[in-house]
Amino acid sequence: MKISRKIWSITMLCAGLVLSSQLATAQTWSQLVTGPGPSTGGVTANYDSRNNRLVTFLPQGGSVPSEAWVLMDANGLGGSATWTDLQPTGMSPENNGESTAVYNPLGNQLIVYGGCSASCGSPLSSVFVLTHANGLGGTPAWSQSSPTNPIAREAQSAVYDPTTNSMITFGGGLAFFGTDQNDTNVLAPANSPSPTWTTLATAGGPPPIREGQSAVYNSAKNTMTIFGGDDAISTCCPYDIVDYNDVWTLSNANGHGGTPTWTELQPQGTPPSPRTDQSAVYDQLRNVMYIFGGLSWSNTTQNWTWLGDVWKLTNADGLGTAAPTWTQIGQLGTPPGGNAGQGAGFDTVDQRMIIFGGADRNDVGEYLTFILDLKQH
């Protein structure tokens, strides 16, 4: 059994801001004051830009049902930010983490896929759909889908394509060391009671096997960009885990318009350190990916380092005329500090990254919400 990285009994260290010659003008963090909210740190988050709401899914374990919460006035500009526990009807997803959740804004649905069974003894193939996921329009309700060609997976990455109503996933593992994958799969129609999984026959690459990577999607160009992650090769002793800091793009990522093709980008600038379980958000208007935090593993010291740095990658889909470039962003105000496994959303209009949850260097769940104002950047 591959033990969840959240409960490994391995000494953990914390790393804050690492200065470099390419440190960008500092941007300001602020802690968002909210009413009572979720009490668990592991979370996936999606931002509903039309209604300024952060839609979150919080997995639990065993007999404890998973939770769905919504943060209203999530960007900190529209009023007093307030958490609402949706308490949906129907049977909720049962897993203890490492699942993914994507948001369908047109249907106001959250689509939750995969994850771990209790203690991560096996991966899950389940797909659940939450209706009225932003808390508006009716009573939120869970329903379980019955996909054709089910695929069990944990710690995969996932993005949503509104054009074809598809969920696109990459990689992930099978809950044991040495079982990480590098396949690309598409679930369509993603919100259907009986969707179909298709494994794409890709050209180029593919990226090395991994889990815990970030993925963002340019819906206008049908391009998925992935960053980082790790390959859990073998268990102790010693552990053999390889972290990544590479960047890959997949064209025709939804399986339409041509052969899906992987390309490894070679960005200019000093890249972020290798890491996994970081959060990433995408500014599609400006074609910029931002990443925050995560975990970095050392085979030499057998330690995790908990990261709290912020980076941006310009021309993140690799299709522009300018070369993709990494730049580290300085931090002012009240930074979250070292954190991993947090959820993140992005307000494109006001250029604000919204961070919630995760776990700190002591493996203690974080229940705070932070805003990084990137408008001046």
Beta bridge partners of 84: 70
Count of residues in the chain: 377
Tens digits of pLDDT across the chain (377 residues): 454 444 343 433 334 433 344 556 789 999 998 878 887 667 899 999 999 999 999 987 666 789 999 999 999 998 889 999 999 999 999 877 899 999 999 999 999 999 998 778 899 999 999 999 999 999 999 999 999 999 999 999 999 999 999 999 999 999 999 999 999 999 999 999 999 999 999 999 999 999 999 999 999 999 999 999 999 999 999 999 999 999 999 999 999 999 999 999 999 999 999 999 999 999 999 999 999 999 999 999 999 999 999 999 999 999 989 999 999 999 999 999 999 999 999 999 999 999 998 888 665 556 789 999 998 65
SS3 per residue for 142-154:
EEECCCECCCCEE
Hey, what are 11's tokens?
């000494």
> Which of 114, 102, 108 has its CA nearest to residue 56?
102
Beta bridge partners of 168: 159, 186
> Which of 180, 114, 184, 186 has its CA nearest to residue 152?
114
Domains for the chain: give ranges and CATH numbers: 15-373 (2.120.10.80)
> Which of 123, 37, 128 has its CA nearest to residue 91?
128
HSE value, Cβ hemisphere, 13 Å, CA-based, for 122: 6
Hey, what are 202's tokens?
């890709």
Q: Is the pTM of this model over 0.85?
A: yes
DSSP-derived 3-state class of residue 32: strand
Hey, what are 246's tokens?
């590479």
